[in-house]
């Protein structure tokens, strides 16, 4: 009999009435021929309430006691949910994380799952029970109660589905995944399908529908996830390997309102600089968001990065000592930025996406301060007071409100039942470890840097439109901004065969795009580390910079996204760089597929 895991978030079990309606959904699935596992979160805002109680007593409650406390929220909801099912005349058994056999490490507050035993659940299911599993919690080797981090019930649900070969439904207060946050973009539309990669790239962008770790799990174990409304009986969005309309370059847009930018100018362009900067930030436990470094000139480069506004002070404290030891000329920071991103798996096969985005912003008089691109995402930093206008302009330019009639309808893949649940559970060992899927060296590219570009709306659009018109495909784009100077530096990579033409194009548009200097490196090497969980494992960029520094490599350009970190070095150092990275990530590299 097929197994289905249905997860109900806090708002979907906030009252006994809502618990009853969740119970009815589970009973219906059982009547339709499924074995049903419900995973439930704490009722309503109960977890927040428990956090506040703890803070009435202590400013920094010990993590172990915090987990002991927070896990009670889910224990309340599983018991009530079991009662609701029984009150409707069906069999149910509630289980805590420990009783399900969710073994975790002992990192309280953000424990990682080590293994799940399926025997007890399977027996109860075979006995016609609906099994109600507490989300968000597990147990460590010494029987301490642990929690998986806020929002962790999604991870519980997806990992149970993975070990049981079950399909997974996430019932929530939104009815699916939208092209943009409908509170911010009125014309945003629900999509029928979205891919794991798009969700991962969007996860930290305030899409906020699911915990990103749960999507990493789903991708790694090919669990299709159906996100749908707990209020209405409508189809939601299926997250799997397919996207709604593969012909589109862009499938969604997002804004992160509160970003702070830090710019380091005059960073000695030598091995180890980036490593020194970012490891000090990582040691302070701060997750850096965008990182851009432009090609250096005269032995000096500029590095800009963003952190959540709330972390700005803390970050400045961490970076200040490095500014002194490295002899960095200037550190400036601004806390008035927002990040606008577009994502689409179709982007990897299309050109002309970035210049369309830049043009839309330029037409609205919106200045772009920073740019960073990945294969399937383009992110720009703009002034916060223009952020809402910017996201709407971008949503409109890519017509995200429209369904194209000739779009190939996406197929919804079915969950592959685990043939041997015990083996699958075993495979779960270490499933939350960092998974690097690919380390690659691309020696086909050249870099072009435009230094001292006048920083005003529409410049990036003009440059990339002209380049696109010559049929030159641009790969990595990086722009950093220099405070108080009204100039920006823009670097990008193109195919080596196109570098001379590209430089000529740019020199030919100096009347429209005032700039100081165009420099190119006709033979660069791009090194990329791709994988799952690069953001939740903050150490990836650091490990990468560190190993390259130890190998004596000088990094010319950097850009980062959720699923990939790219650096550009001179071609003469490409092979050595690849070897250094393979060695540095040897313990976590996974064979593709």
Instruction: State the residues that interact with ligand ASP by CB under 6 A.
Output: 9-10, 41-42, 47, 73, 135-136, 150-153
| Tokens 């690919």 -> residue | 438
Q: How far is the CB of 4 from Mg ion (least distance, A)?
A: 21
Q: How far is the CB of 10 from Mg ion (least distance, A)?
A: 4
Q: Cα-flanking dihedrals φ and ψ of residue 573, to 5°?
A: -105, 0
| Residue 150 binding result from Mg ion, ligand ASP, none, given CB thresholds of 5 to 8 Å by partner type | ligand ASP
480 counts as binding Mg ion under rule CB under 5 A: no
Q: How far is the CB of 135 from ligand ASP (least distance, A)?
A: 5
**Which residues 6+ apart lie within 8 Å of 57 measured at CB?**
none
CA 447/CA 496 separation, integer angstroms: 8
The DSSP string of 86-111 is: HHTT--EEEE-HHHHTEEE-S-TTS-
| Residue 91 binding result from Mg ion, ligand ASP, none, given CB thresholds of 5 to 8 Å by partner type | none
374, 473, 527 from 567: Cα distances, Å: 12, 19, 5
Nearer to ligand ASP, 42 or 551 (CB): 42
Asked whether the beta carbons of 195 and 242 are under 8 A apart, the reply is: yes
Q: How far is the CB of 155 from ligand ASP (least distance, A)?
A: 8
| Residue 73 binding result from ligand ASP, Mg ion, none, given CB thresholds of 5 to 8 Å by partner type | ligand ASP
Q: How far is the CB of 229 from ligand ASP (least distance, A)?
A: 17
Subset of 40-59 contacting Mg ion (CB under 5 A): 41
| CA 565 to chain CA centroid, nearest Å | 12
271 counts as binding Mg ion under rule CB under 5 A: no
The two three-digit tokens of residue 286, written as one number: 């701060």
The two three-digit tokens of residue 46, written as one number: 């109960």
Q: How far is the CB of 6 from Mg ion (least distance, A)?
A: 15
| Residue 458 binding result from ligand ASP, Mg ion, none, given CB thresholds of 5 to 8 Å by partner type | none
| Residue 189 binding result from Mg ion, ligand ASP, none, given CB thresholds of 5 to 8 Å by partner type | none
Nearest Cα neighbor of 227 from 178, 166, 180, 176 is 176
Nearer to ligand ASP, 226 or 339 (CB): 226
β-pair type (167-172, 3-8): parallel
CA 396/CA 73 separation, integer angstroms: 42
Nearer to Mg ion, 148 or 424 (CB): 148
**Which residues 6+ apart lie within 8 Å of 139 measured at CB?**
97, 98, 102, 103, 104, 145, 146
CA 159/CA 37 separation, integer angstroms: 12
372 counts as binding Mg ion under rule CB under 5 A: no
Strand partners, 267: 301
10 counts as binding Mg ion under rule CB under 5 A: yes
How many of the other CB atoms lie within 10 Å of CB of 484? 7
Nearer to ligand ASP, 147 or 566 (CB): 147
Which of the ranges 33-41, 60-68, 112-120, 540-548 carries the binding residues for Mg ion, by CB under 5 A?
33-41
Nearer to Mg ion, 203 or 453 (CB): 203
Q: Is 80 helix (H, G, I), strand (E, B) or coil?
A: helix
Q: How far is the CB of 570 from ligand ASP (least distance, A)?
A: 46
Nearer to Mg ion, 9 or 272 (CB): 9
Q: How far is the CB of 156 from ligand ASP (least distance, A)?
A: 8
CA 223/CA 413 separation, integer angstroms: 9
11 counts as binding Mg ion under rule CB under 5 A: no
Q: How far is the CB of 156 from Mg ion (least distance, A)?
A: 11
The two three-digit tokens of residue 93, written as one number: 């058994």
The number of residues that bind Mg ion (CB under 5 A) is 3
CA 5/CA 563 separation, integer angstroms: 27
367 counts as binding Mg ion under rule CB under 5 A: no
CA 289/CA 146 separation, integer angstroms: 28
- List the 102-104 sheet strands across, edge first: 113-116, 102-104, 137-139, 145-147
Nearer to Mg ion, 10 or 272 (CB): 10
Nearer to ligand ASP, 41 or 491 (CB): 41
Nearer to ligand ASP, 152 or 224 (CB): 152
| Residue 136 binding result from Mg ion, ligand ASP, none, given CB thresholds of 5 to 8 Å by partner type | ligand ASP
Q: How far is the CB of 549 from Mg ion (least distance, A)?
A: 40
- Which residues bind to Mg ion, rule: CB under 5 A? 9-10, 41
């Amino acid at each position: 009999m097929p197994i289905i895991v249905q997860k109900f978030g806090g708002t979907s079990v906030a009252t006994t009435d809502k618990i009853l309606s969740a119970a009815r959904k589970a009973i219906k699935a059982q009547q339709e021929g499924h074995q049903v596992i419900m995973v439930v979160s704490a009722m309503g805002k109960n977890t927040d309430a428990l956090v506040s109680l703890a803070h009435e007593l202590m400013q920094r409650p010990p993590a172990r006691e915090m987990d002991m406390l927070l896990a009670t929220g889910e224990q309340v909801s599983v018991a009530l949910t079991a009662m609701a099912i029984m009150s409707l005349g069906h069999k149910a058994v509630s289980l805590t994380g420990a009783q399900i056999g969710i073994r975790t490490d002992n990192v309280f507050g953000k424990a990682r799952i080590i293994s799940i035993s399926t025997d007890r659940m399977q027996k109860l299911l075979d006995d016609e029970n609906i099994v109600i599993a507490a989300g968000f919690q597990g147990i460590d080797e010494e029987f301490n109660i642990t929690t998986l981090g806020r929002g962790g019930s999604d991870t519980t649900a997806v990992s149970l589905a993975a070990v049981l070969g079950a399909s997974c439904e996430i019932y929530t207060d939104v009815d699916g995944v939208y092209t943009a946050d409908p509170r911010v973009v009125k014309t945003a539309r629900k999509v029928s399908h979205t891919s794991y990669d798009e969700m991962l790239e969007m996860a930290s962008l305030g899409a906020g529908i699911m915990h990103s770790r749960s999507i990493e799990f789903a991708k790694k174990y090919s669990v299709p996830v159906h996100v749908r409304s707990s209020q209405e009986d409508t189809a939601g969005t299926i997250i799997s390997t397919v996207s709604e309309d593969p012909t589109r370059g862009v499938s969604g847009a997002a804004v992160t309102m509160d970003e702070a930018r830090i710019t380091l100018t005059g960073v000695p362009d030598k091995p180890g600089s980036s490593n020194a900067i970012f490891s000090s930030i990582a040691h302070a436990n701060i997750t850096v968001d965008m990182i851009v470094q432009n090609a250096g000139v005269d032995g000096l480069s500029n590095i800009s990065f963003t952190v959540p506004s709330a972390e700005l002070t803390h970050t400045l404290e961490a970076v200040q000592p490095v500014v002194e030891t490295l002899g960095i000329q200037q550190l400036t920071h601004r806390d008035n930025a927002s990040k606008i991103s577009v994502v689409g798996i179709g982007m990897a096969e299309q050109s002309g996406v970035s210049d369309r985005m830049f043009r839309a912003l330029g037409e609205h008089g919106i200045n772009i301060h920073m740019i960073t691109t990945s294969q399937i995402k383009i992110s720009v930093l703009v002034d916060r007071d223009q952020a809402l206008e910017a996201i709407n302009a971008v949503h409109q330019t890519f017509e995200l409100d429209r369904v194209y009639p000739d779009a190939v309808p996406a197929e919804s893949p079915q969950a592959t039942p685990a043939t041997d649940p015990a083996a699958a559970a075993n495979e779960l060992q270490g499933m939350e470890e960092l998974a690097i899927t690919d380390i690659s060296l691309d020696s086909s590219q050249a870099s072009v840097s435009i230094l001292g570009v006048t920083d005003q709306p529409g410049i990036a659009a003009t440059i990339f439109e002209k380049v696109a018109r010559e049929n030159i495909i641009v790969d990595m784009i990086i722009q950093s901004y220099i405070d108080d100077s009204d100039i920006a530096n823009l670097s990008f990579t193109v195919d080596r065969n196109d570098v001379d033409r590209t430089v000529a194009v740019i020199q030919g548009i100096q009347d429209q795009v005032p700039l100081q200097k165009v420099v190119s490196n006709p033979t660069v090497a791009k090194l990329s580390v791709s994988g799952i969980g690069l953001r939740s494992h903050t150490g990836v960029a650091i490990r990468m910079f560190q190993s390259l520094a130890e190998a004596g490599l000088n990094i010319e350009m950097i850009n980062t996204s959720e699923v990939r970190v790219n650096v550009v070095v001179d071609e003469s150092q490409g092979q050595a760089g690849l070897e250094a990275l393979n060695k540095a990530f040897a313990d976590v590299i996974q064979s593709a597929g």
